[in-house]
């Protein structure tokens, strides 16, 4: 069994904040994979379901970000899960918008939600870092993370959330690389190889292409037949 947590702040005023991208991630997983309706539990809200062959509980702490560890600890203790069976989705200033990284254990890098979780269950839990970019100056961080995503962010944000939903069964199975690949298939423009110009330069053809004109003389064609 896995406990997958999305970090954020409760309430409509925070719903589109950059700081709430963890909530957005688990909301999308629940909707895409037919989880139960969200219900109040563990000082937060939970939804239950399966990802692949794994039973999963999704959790959105509602203690506000700085006290997230209280809710996470309550749920982990109830289900008797060690930190290694927990995965936390959170916003990451040090990653470009739309990028994602999977990490097991390690520091909290000043993130208040992670800091609280560290204080309650230690640092060996897994986390998925979701890039939101950096405002450029540390004095702007609080305003930035508590600000809403801009309209210009809608495209990459939607692609990222779709990729998270696509790859969620792989994440639950412990396949972090497969999960990140599922995200990349949504977020990284796929390079189209073998285009007409490339085929022409290489002398190759594709189905439907007209065969190249034969510029050999009749004598050359006859000679080539017997080579």
Residue that has been written with the tokens 């709430």 in this structure:
20
108-140 b/e (C-beta count within 10 Å ≥ 16 → b) = beebbbbbbbbebbeeebbbbbbbbbbbeeeee
Q: Residue 107's pLDDT is what?
A: 95
Tokens of 225: 């037949």
Distance of CA 119 to the CA centre of its chain: 25
Q: Residue 133's pLDDT is what?
A: 97
Residue-range domains of the chain with CATH: 2-187 (3.40.50.1470)
Q: Residue 201's pLDDT is what?
A: 38
Which residues contact residue 170 at a Cβ distance below 8 angstroms, ignoring those fewer than 6 apart? Answer: 52, 176, 178, 179, 182
- pLDDT tens series, the chain, 227 aa: 999 999 999 999 999 999 999 999 999 999 999 999 999 999 999 999 999 999 999 999 999 999 999 999 999 999 999 999 999 999 999 999 999 999 999 999 999 999 999 999 999 999 999 999 999 999 999 999 999 999 999 999 999 999 999 999 999 999 999 999 999 999 987 654 444 444 443 344 444 444 445 556 655 555 555 45
Q: In 97-174, where does DSSP find H-type helix?
A: 112-121, 141-145, 154-172
- Which residues is 2 bridged to in the sheet? 56
Q: Residue 189's pLDDT is what?
A: 74
Query: Catalytic residue positions?
Result: 19
Tokens of 54: 């794994």
């Amino acid at each position: 069994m896995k406990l997958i947590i999305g970090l954020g702040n409760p309430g409509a005023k925070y719903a589109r904040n950059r700081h709430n991208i963890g909530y957005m991630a688990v909301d999308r997983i629940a909707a895409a994979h037919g989880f139960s309706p969200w219900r109040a539990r563990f000082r937060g809200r939970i939804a239950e379901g399966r990802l692949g062959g794994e039973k999963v509980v999704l959790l959105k702490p509602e203690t506000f970000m700085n006290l997230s560890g209280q809710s996470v600890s309550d749920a982990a203790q109830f289900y008797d899960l060690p930190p290694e069976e927990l995965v936390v989705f959170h916003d990451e200033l040090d990653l470009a918008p739309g990028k994602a990284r999977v990490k097991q254990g390690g520091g909290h890098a000043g993130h208040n939600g992670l800091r609280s979780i560290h204080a309650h269950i230690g640092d060996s839990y897994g986390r998925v870092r979701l890039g939101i970019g950096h405002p450029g100056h540390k004095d702007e961080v609080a305003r930035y993370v508590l600000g809403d995503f801009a309209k210009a962010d809608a495209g990459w944000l939607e692609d990222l959330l779709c990729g998270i939903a696509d790859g969620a069964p792989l994440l639950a199975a412990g396949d972090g690389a497969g999960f990140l690949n599922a995200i990349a298939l949504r977020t990284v423009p796929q390079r189209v190889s073998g285009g007409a110009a490339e085929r022409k330069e290489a002398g190759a053809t594709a189905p439907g292409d007209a065969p190249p004109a034969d510029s050999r003389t009749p004598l050359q064609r006859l000679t080539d037949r017997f080579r």
